Structure 1
Amino acid sequence: MISSPEGDGVAPDAEREASSPSDAERAPSPAAAADSARSPSATAAQRDEPAALSAPVESAEPGPDPERLRARFGRPFEAGDVIFREGEPGTEAYLLEEGRVRLIKKVRGAERSLMVLKPGDLFGESALLGGAARSSTAIALSRGVALALDQGTLQNLVERNPAVAMRIIKQLVGRLRDAEDQIEIMMLTDTQSKVVNALLKLAQHSRATGGAASNGASFAISPMELSTRVGLDVDTVKRAVQQLREGQYLRVADERLEIPDIEALRRLFGLLGLKDEIRGEQ
């Protein structure tokens, strides 16, 4: 203990009294008393609470894990397999992961192609309507995998993942646009006009998505896909495409079409329309 210097006028007892805390100071505060009265479990819960509150919001709604989705919902198929048939109850929607699938519909006993699906496409959306009958038949064109999602699973996936919902909306809007294009094509009478009109629509879409040259366009499409768009058989479409190649309106390489000059093809479409009008007046 360090003593006070002489002559400071402070007695040792008084000094000890002054340096000791008072009874009021020794008494715990109400908050401290409440803390000391807490049970160990309550204290542990308090320690855990900040960690839960500080967790990032994104961790509460993680995006879908592709591997987990495939392991749980994946349905493999081989070329020629029928995934579902027209008229069956639609209990599941399918998200194509790998391969290609063709949708066909019977009209007066004849099969008509509706579309050819690629990875990323959703099909069999009748499952969203709670078991409505399938409006078409889905046939695999190659080996692949599709995710089979029932109504509840698909609804949960969409609600928890806005990106998935937006992807589906964009696809449905695209199909509506394609349906409108097909109606326009069906109103045309000659084969060449149908094919040229479909190519102009595809070129317009390619340019809108950035896949175009300065005055042309390039896009991947198979003869079957093109025949589906125009409502003609594959051989007829191939002949029309060959005529366009001979006229240098079109180039073909590895199921990819290149239109070097869109305006030239558009002028050809106008001439075909004029020719059809003249034929109708005769």
Structure 2
Amino acid sequence: MPKAMSYTKGSIIYFEGDTDDRVFILQKGHVVITTTDVETKLQTSEQIKQGEFFGVKSAIGHFPREETVMTLDEAVCISMSSLEFENLFSNNKQLIMKMLRVFSNQLRQIHKKTESVMNNNESFNQMDGLFGVAKAFYSDEKWQSCEDVCKIYLRLYPTEANNKELKEMLLKSNAYVKKGISSSTAAEEIAAVSGGGTSIKMFELPAFKRFQKTYENGQVIISEFERGETFYLIQSGNVQLTKCINESNKNLDILKPGEFFGEMAILDNTPRSATCVARGHVECLEFNKANFEMLITGNPQLALILLKIFCKRIYDQKRRLRILVISDPQARLADVFCMFNEMNPVTSTADRRRKFMVTESDIVHWSGLPAQTAKDELKRFVVSRKIEIYDTYIIVNNIADMQRIVESRSDQKK
């Protein structure tokens, strides 16, 4: 049951790195939250207003605390367990929409910081940005994806139908697609995501059939920079999230059955922040902007699932940002392996040999390094017998070696 907690001036409610499932509401006094900026390593502080929640993301996402919270004077906070918060959240429509918008904005800010770190200094308007996405897929020989984005571009900007470069990209992409070639690595992509998973049971009811959409490998479901009018729930298959950085597509994440995408543009009325591409056969439910709030507030369990997804994405994106701010190439690659180790924990720490179902290309993407630089550094790891690279997986012979490399070299900033 929620209870009031009294604190004296200068009390620490919790430290960064603590593991705690409590959520707090500031009832009286003043509280300051201190966080460490991932890029600059400098501390920033923000004061919490009375009536505001804090500690939500780490509590319901079951992650270590990302901030230290201290009282500035005598304060009273309402403390509740994550389960108690979930019950409160599920029954409060106003709180549901407020927290979803807050978390959506936090995730978008992390995406912007990621762009900045990856030296994306170009300032795009929506039209130029969408054209850049099409060019990136064209350069990568992702023919189906390129064709789809070109069509989206023409649908939004029909006056550009005579754009010579666009016509060339569309004609060539269309020719390959007609031959049954969606990309230069289509077979590899389909093999990499075979299997799938289970969907959320509540959406298997006949009433949801009218929302169902299907996509094949390489098809673009939504494109970065286009206006957001729909969001999606994956029922089967996998969806690749990519972001166009300096006319090159960078992988952000791979979404699996039961996950949402596209909801950020719905919540804050901004253009899409990433491109979502089908990997293999994908079935998903498409909902529009008009029924989003009704669907979310009318299904408390769905709203809670979406909130937890935001918590995980924010945590994961911050983790990836930590990789990108490492200037030393070997340390950055080593931290990619450390990230995969954190994502796939083992029960026994005695065996430090790890097998990750990723390819060399995956590691290159996650590192954010120029492809040749990353491949050269990976070869050095192979020569020194730190890793073994195979077609569909990579073995790290001692994950502690990777952790030591990160600790000894990652203090250098970009």
Q: Give me the TM-score of the superposition, normalised by structure 1.
A: 0.61
Taking a change above 3 Å as real, the CA distance of residues 85 and 192 of structure 1, as seen in their structure-2 partners, is same
Partner of 1:168: 306
Q: Which has the higher helix share?
A: 1
Taking a change above 3 Å as real, the CA distance of residues 80 and 189 of structure 1, as seen in their structure-2 partners, is same
Partner of 1:104: 242
- Number of aligned positions between the proteins: 213
Taking a change above 3 Å as real, the CA distance of residues 250 and 88 of structure 1, as seen in their structure-2 partners, is same
From 231, 234, 248, the counterpart of 2:385: 248
Query: Is 1:263 matched up with 2:400?
Result: yes
Q: Compute the displacement of 1:70 (Å).
A: 6.1
Contact 2:359 2:390 in 1 (8 A): no
Taking a change above 3 Å as real, the CA distance of residues 271 and 131 of structure 1, as seen in their structure-2 partners, is closer
Structure 1: state its 5+ residue gaps: 1-62
What do the CA deviations read for 1:195-217 (whole angstroms, capped 9, x no partner)?
1112112212322xx57654434
Matches within 5 A, 1:37-186: 64-66=202-204, 68=206, 71-108=209-246, 110-120=247-257, 121-129=259-267, 131-186=269-324
Taking a change above 3 Å as real, the CA distance of residues 161 and 76 of structure 1, as seen in their structure-2 partners, is same
From 324, 327, 336, the counterpart of 1:198: 336
Partner of 2:105: none
What do the CA deviations read for 1:31-85 (whole angstroms, capped 9, x no partner)?
xxxxxxxxxxxxxxxxxxxxxxxxxxxxxxxx61425376222211122222122
Taking a change above 3 Å as real, the CA distance of residues 168 and 257 of structure 1, as seen in their structure-2 partners, is farther
How big is the alpha-carbon RMSD for the aligned residues of Structure 1 and Structure 2? 3.4
Paired residue secondary structure (2:313)? helix
Percent pairwise identity? 20
Tell me the distance in 2 between the aligned counterparts of 1:256 and 1:212: 21
Taking a change above 3 Å as real, the CA distance of residues 116 and 130 of structure 1, as seen in their structure-2 partners, is closer
Tell me the distance in 2 between the aligned counterparts of 1:162 and 1:258: 42
Q: Compute the displacement of 1:170 (Å).
A: 2.7
Partner of 2:357: 220
Q: Give me the TM-score of the superposition, normalised by structure 2.
A: 0.44
Tell me the distance in 2 between the aligned counterparts of 1:244 and 1:255: 17
Contact 1:211 1:218 in 2 (8 A): no
Structure 2: state its 5+ residue gaps: 1-200
Paired residue secondary structure (1:143)? strand
Taking a change above 3 Å as real, the CA distance of residues 194 and 69 of structure 1, as seen in their structure-2 partners, is farther
Contact 1:102 1:113 in 2 (8 A): no
Contact 2:332 2:410 in 1 (8 A): no
Q: Compute the displacement of 1:135 (Å).
A: 1.8
Partner of 1:58: none
